[in-house]
Structure 1
């Protein structure tokens, strides 16, 4: 054999490890893999599962809170709409009551005006009657004085005044047919 070949066979290749290194490395790798598989991986999986459950619980809680908030918002909007409807109803009632009060006040004013007008008419009629009585007395007095001057007698006595007036009226009646005959 050639000397180079022998030397090549005797020196190991630095890129290929020795068989005993491969064996013991495989044993250590298997032991570490089994420890990792039996102890670390379940603990890691347990931690990830707990974390996933907390996240899922948080999501469910957030969805529940969101649903409650949506329900509260709908209730608020319903109450707001009910409040607006109630306010509109109250406003309509107040307008109706206002119109009714205005109508009542107008009716009261009209009734009061009628009462005042009727009272004024009664007062005017009473004053007219009083004026008529006063005028009759004054006119009677003036007529009696005038008749007394015309007839030439004093007419202070009622019976005498009545006699003079009757006589004056009968004289007028006698003169009236004669004056009517002369005119024709």
Structure 2
């Protein structure tokens, strides 16, 4: 019996002890448990990935809605600004027209007052001059008649 034989016997005994102790079953169970854990981790990872994709889709939808709302707000603000600008321009134009009319009325009134003042002064001067001329050359009765006639004629022209 040589050393190879005893090595073979030791190997058979070792394999027998390993089988008796159910080491292959423990290894198989351990590998099965590890495979099951890995499977659960893969399922969890798959579930987390799906949740992450769902959240991503939800946030992308919210972002699109927020962008649309911002665009709507911007459009409404631009529309309102245009209306305010148009309203302000209209009010300014109306104000300018009113101020021009008021200025024209004041100018016409001043012109009328000036013409009336000039006419009044002309009448006063003409009457005074006529009175002096007539007083010096005519008798009082004729002068009085001419004066009344002149006043009536000037009065009718002013009206």
TM superposition score normalised by structure 2: 0.74
Partner of 2:69: 86
* Higher gyration radius (CA): 1
Closer/same/farther in 2, CA of residues 102 and 62 from structure 1, 3 Å limit: same
Describe the superposition over 1:3-60 as per-residue Cα deviations: whole angstroms up to 9, x where unpaired: xxxxxxxxx9x6996xxx7xx939x82x644543351011111111111111111111
Runs of 4+ in 1 over 4 A off after TM superposition: 14-17
2:124 aligned with 1:141, yes or no?
yes
- Residue range with higher mean Cα deviation, 126-135 or 90-99: 126-135
Q: 1:36 aligns with which of 5, 15, 18?
A: 18
- If asked which structure has higher relative contact order (CA below 8 Å, sep 6+), I would say 2
Q: 2:106 aligns with which of 116, 119, 123?
A: 123
2:97 aligned with 1:114, yes or no?
yes
Q: 1:53 aligns with which of 25, 33, 36?
A: 36
Q: How many residues align?
A: 146
- Structure 1 distance, partners of 2:145, 2:104, is 36
Measure how far apart 1:162 and its partner are: 6.8
For structure 2, the residue ranges without an aligned partner over 5 or more in a row are 138-142, 153-159
Closer/same/farther in 2, CA of residues 63 and 78 from structure 1, 3 Å limit: same
Measure how far apart 1:166 and its partner are: 2.3
- Structure 2 distance, partners of 1:124, 1:161, is 40
